[in-house]
Structure 1
Amino acid sequence: MWATLLHMVSELQRRKTALVFTAMDVDSDGFLEREDFAALTERWTDHRGLAPDSPEAAGLSGIMMGWWKTLLAASDVDRDRKVTVEEVLLVVDRLAADTTPVVATATAMFAAIDADGDGRISAAEYRELIETWNGVPTDTDEVFAELDLDGDGYLSEAEFVELWTEFWAGDDPNAAGTWVFGRFELPLFV
């Protein structure tokens, strides 16, 4: 069944999805589970130096665990409370026709990334996001400059929603949103 449905997902979309899936699969078991999102939340709150019982940590947890619930409801085809990359690709295949779910996720993620609540994402806040996903220090200066569509040194919510939507629903290797989670090797034929 999956092979038939996945033929519509391009190689670029597969690579983008695999990049994020691998980063989010904290225990590297090939599945996204509640525990992976809890570990990412803990990594993020630790990175920010937040006390586990602080309102800020609770806010991050709410956003991340909300994303988990949304992903589980949309992707868990066999209802085993685990999500495979193939199940995520089924959702990606449908996003071009209806970007509503990805826009909602973008708005929530923007709030989580905007650590100081000033209504924009700085280069440092973006770096924190990528390092949280990757779990390692990462140079993001070049990518951030490409993502900053208006060149003002920040990502506005509108810019971020556009970039996030392009990443998940788009199929253009030249679009800035392709790189929202960092650089990766493009497929040979895109």
Structure 2
Amino acid sequence: MATKFQYRKITGVFRAMDVDGDGYLTESDFEALASRWAAIQGQPKGRIYSIMMNWWATLLTADRDGDERVTLDDVMVIVDRLNEMPHAMATTALSMFDAVDANGDGLISAREYNQMIVGWTGVPTDTDDVFDELDGDDDGYLSRTEFGELWAEFWSGDDQRASGSLVFGRIDVPAR
């Protein structure tokens, strides 16, 4: 079962993904996220759309009542099982890395990271301080390995001080 801190992190991401604010994740939310993110990157939405729709398909497996709307509690069912699915988490991390790495150079820059956060939230956000915390080796980039470790820490970690807790930026939501 997720801790209070994990629940707060996931709630923040859930709210960002719930583009229409109706309290559910739907296919149209993921289509809107893909369109917004692709526009920010100045790229066709094809690659990002594919990645986002694959993520939607995964989340849809948690839709317990079959209404094609995923609740926060449905997402938490998946989160509670992530430690049993390291391959799935690693695969998702690599897919997200590819989506964030807009120029395809195998590294995520501070600018690309910012585009991801703005793509998720739809709000212009200064992320330089967060990126500096994520960039553990201070080389100005996130490698695939760094991103994968940060991604895993975000989704399954419970350490509020861990850099991975910031993968989706500083999302401040009230405790449950």
TM-score by length of 1: 0.88
Residues 1:71 and 2:59 are matched in the alignment: yes
CA contact (8 A) 1:23 1:134 kept: yes
Q: Which runs of 4+ in 1 moved over 6 A?
A: none
CA contact (8 A) 1:173 1:186 kept: no
Aligned counterpart in structure 1 of residue 95 of structure 2, from 89, 108, 111: 108
* 2:10 partner amino acid: T
Aligned counterpart in structure 1 of residue 159 of structure 2, from 139, 157, 172: 172
CA distance in 1, matches of 2:100, 2:150: 14
Aligned counterpart in structure 2 of residue 81 of structure 1, from 49, 57, 68: 68
CA distance in 2, matches of 1:186, 1:135: 17
Deviations 1:84-138 (A, max 9, x none): 0001011111112332222111110000100000000000000000001110110
SS of equivalent to 1:96: helix
CA shift for structure 1 position 9: 1.1
Which structure 2 segments of 5+ residues have no match?
Answer: none
SS of equivalent to 2:84: coil
- Aligned-residue Cα RMSD (Å) equals 1.5
Instruction: Identify the structure with bigger relative contact order (alpha carbons < 8 Å, sequence gap 6+).
Output: 2
**Range moving further from structure 2, 40-49 or 93-102:** 93-102
Residues 1:96 and 2:89 are matched in the alignment: no
Report 1:1-190 matches (<5 A).
8-50=1-43, 56-73=44-61, 75-185=62-172
TM-score by length of 2: 0.94
- Counting aligned pairs with the same residue, the percent is 53
CA shift for structure 1 position 148: 0.5
Which structure 1 segments of 5+ residues have no match?
Answer: 1-7, 51-55
CA distance in 2, matches of 1:34, 1:49: 22
* 1:78 partner amino acid: D
CA distance in 1, matches of 2:57, 2:137: 33
Q: 1:186 to 1:67 in 2, by over 3 A?
A: closer
CA distance in 2, matches of 1:112, 1:184: 20
Corresponding residue pairs, total: 175
CA distance in 2, matches of 1:186, 1:25: 14
* 1:26 partner amino acid: V
1:4 paired residue number: none
CA distance in 1, matches of 2:79, 2:113: 23
Which of the two has higher C-alpha Rg?
A: 1
CA distance in 2, matches of 1:181, 1:105: 14
